[in-house]
Amino acid sequence: MRAPQNRRVFVVGYGAATPLGKTFTGTWRRAVKGEAGFRKVTRCQVESACDIVGEIPDWNPRDLDFADAKEVYNWNAAFVILTMAVCKEALENAGIVMDDKIAPRMACLIGSAINGSDAFRAAVNDLETRGPLRVSPYLLPNLCANLPSGKAGMLLKFTGPIFSPQGACASGNHAIGIGARMIRDGDCDFVLAGGADTPIMPEIIHGFANMNATIKVQPGDRAYTEHGQASRPFSADRRGFVLSEGAGVVVLAAEEVIKTYGLRPKAEILGIGWTSDAHHYTAPHAPTIIRAIRETIEDAGLTPEDIQYINAHGTSTPKGDAMEIKCLREVFGKQIEKIPVSSNKSQLGHTLGATAAIEAALTIEGMSRGIILPTINHLPDPALADVDVVPNEARKQKIEIALSNAFGFGGTNCCVIFKGV
């Protein structure tokens, strides 16, 4: 294999569809106001107290200029067309116009946690109610993890590598990390890196509920009447995450092509660290999380004292949040008292494979604007009192170096460090 070219890698654009908005612009506008995107589930019927979810508002794929009724019917794994729309937004945000030189040098890496489960659900229903000849011939393509990237390529006309990093809830950071390595090594010049998940269906909702992973909103809970208060990372009364749908994509580019095409860099990818736990399929494991954070800092050529903000994984689970803070204390020592640590999941819920890419985009936008997004719905937990979680309101504060954490089922951990420009 050829030697790596050690090129610098930058983020030049991004797109997102989240419970706060069907575009990144809409998401940011509500995020900076401290709003949450939660409501009673409308996409399906469930018999569970875990019925507060995050749904993309006003999302209808038939409203898109590239998707007619037939396209939407055939590609009924919702993450496919959602990815196409967000990749299109990301390229427009970056100011990239596809041409014969860019197309073969652009890769697309879109991760997911549950992939096309909704398409499989529809096929089972067709088989049971309409017979075997009514199972869609599009079923198997809909289930392929690389299809969102592939369909995005068909729409946007790039022909570089496409595949799906499968890292559960850390998939977005895995996509960013692998994409940055590919550019660094000269395999491509541009990468659309991110994740997409559309888990709002009865089986997934009930499955998470029975794991005691998602919040059960009972009478007396403050979210019972105020649904926006359901996700409360690092709070004394946190009771589980809010399941959400969404997609996020960042556009990565090599330094020299940024100059060639007159693009505007938003942040540099400085470091990546990834580990696995070999411990438990859901429970976090301190030693390997700590190692992932330390390896990210080392990869960036930094020290813990250089980190100015941490975008936490912060899911709003009692054990998960406590474990993440424990790990941050171990890495940063007393300095953790001086570093803002906030969780976007307080506003977005948990979008599974999409979450890390969405949070990366929000972190970078915040860096460019001198704003740290808050951890809303916060009631202080005495056990976490030494940590500044940016409670309840966005903060004007200039930061140059940010660490973003993502940990996933199966015991996978991936962290990324961004430097503002």
Q: Which residues are catalytic?
A: 169, 313, 350
Residue 381: how many other CB atoms lie within 10 Å: 19
The dihedral formed by the CA atoms of 352, 230, 289 and 165, expressed in degrees to the nearest 10: 10
The rounded distance, in Å, linking the Cα atoms of 16 and 110 is 13
Per-position b or e across 1-33, b if 16+ CB within 10 A of its CB? eeeeeebbbbbbbbbbbbbbbbbbebbbebbbe
Contacts of residue 132, defined as CB under 8 A and 6 or more positions apart, other chains included, come to none
Contacts of residue 70, defined as CB under 8 A and 6 or more positions apart, other chains included, come to none
Q: What is the DSSP string of 135-151?
A: S-TTHHHHH-TTHHHHH
The dihedral formed by the CA atoms of 292, 335, 282 and 31, expressed in degrees to the nearest 10: -100
The rounded distance, in Å, linking the Cα atoms of 249 and 235 is 29
CA distances from 387 to 235, 312, 339, 391 (A): 12, 12, 8, 10
The rounded distance, in Å, linking the Cα atoms of 128 and 294 is 51
Q: Is 296 in a helix, a strand, or coil?
A: helix
CA 222 to chain CA centroid, nearest Å: 27
